[in-house]
Amino acid sequence: MSPYRKLINPIEIMVLATALIVGMTVMTAGIRTANSAEVSHLKTQHKTVKVDGIDLFYREAGRPDAPTLLLLHGFPTSSQMFRNLIPALADKYHLVAPDYPGFGNSAMPLVGEFDYSFDNLAVIVDKFTQKLGLDRYSLYVMDYGAPVGFRLATTHPERIESLIVQNGNAYDEGLLTFWDPFRKYWENPTAETAKPLAGFLNIGATKWQYTHGTRNPDLISPDTWTTDQYFQDRPGNKEIQMKLFFDYGTNPGKYPEWQAYFRTHQPRTLIVWGKNDHIFPAEGAHPYKRDLKNVEFHLLDTGHFALEEDGDEIAKTIRDFLK
């Protein structure tokens, strides 16, 4: 009998096959678990954390040990303005985007229950970052996000790795005729001077902020302005927005402090600015180059909410900049 006949013993073959199948199953399960963990970091999570007794909603994606981007939204929106940017960068970066009190899905204490000032919004966001353990991050600031973010930067310059500025002002040159009725309100807050500003809180004005200056308004989803307007139309919210309209007048006085921060600390800065923005026109973008030596400058052919029309280009530019 050939000595090789024992290798085809049916029992031994069955045992060997079973061991092989079990081994492959374990290996496949391990790969699947690893892949699931990787994919979970790419998906945006929607969370809430309590800061000074206030529920703050935020969006988060990416590995917590990756470089962090703190995304600060503008008016009249919320972290939803970053809904597409977050997953576009989550493979390489840790992205965190809070809603301020009174905005989006965060709690909305009434005017008499909370100090709606840019100083206080910055304090709340600062405490939010500490609560999440964000001790180093790049700042993406837009619109209201600029006065909030630049307050953070001047208070904690050691935490700022870089700046990404999109239609957020820090220079007098950026406040043109659009701001004339606001200046009257800052100087003399009466029912008469408040009346023109109340017009910025209706659905027509909210839609205009998204569509004005865009190359193709049909590309802008109506979900944007209808979502923002839903939150603005909550009882008591218009009083909140008027309070912040008035307090915005405190920001120009801080421009010299922010500019001194730029000159002293020279944070690496990326400007991605919708040049057709009537609220924060391109005149406010250029002066950053006066104080910052390490600045990358891009004017985009779009409007106020540049991420809506040029989000893919902005994501790619951010990726190249941070890399």
Which among 307, 322, 313, 310 is positioned nearest to 224, based on CA atoms? Answer: 307
Catalytic residue among 278, 286, 298, 304: 304
Q: In terms of DSSP bridges, do strands 295-300 and 268-274 run parallel, antiparallel, or are they unpaired?
A: parallel
CB 270 within 8 A of CB 285: no
Residues in the chain: 323
d(CA 238, CA 242): 6
Has 304 been annotated as catalytic? yes
List, as one string, the DSSP characters of 137-157: EEEEE-TTHHHHHHHHHHH-G
Q: 58: closest CA among 120, 91, 106, 102?
A: 106
Cα–Cα distance for residue pair 242/191, rounded to 1 Å: 11
CA–CA dist 219, 128 (Å, integer): 34
Provide CB contacts within 8 A for 292, sequence distance 6+.
262, 263, 266, 267, 269
Element counts in the chain: helices (H) and strands (E): 12, 8
Q: Quote the CA–CA distance of 54 and 159 in Å, as a whole number.
A: 24
Question: Do 320 and 290 touch, CB atoms closer than 8 A?
Answer: no
Strands 54-61 and 94-98: antiparallel
Catalytic residue positions, numbered: 304
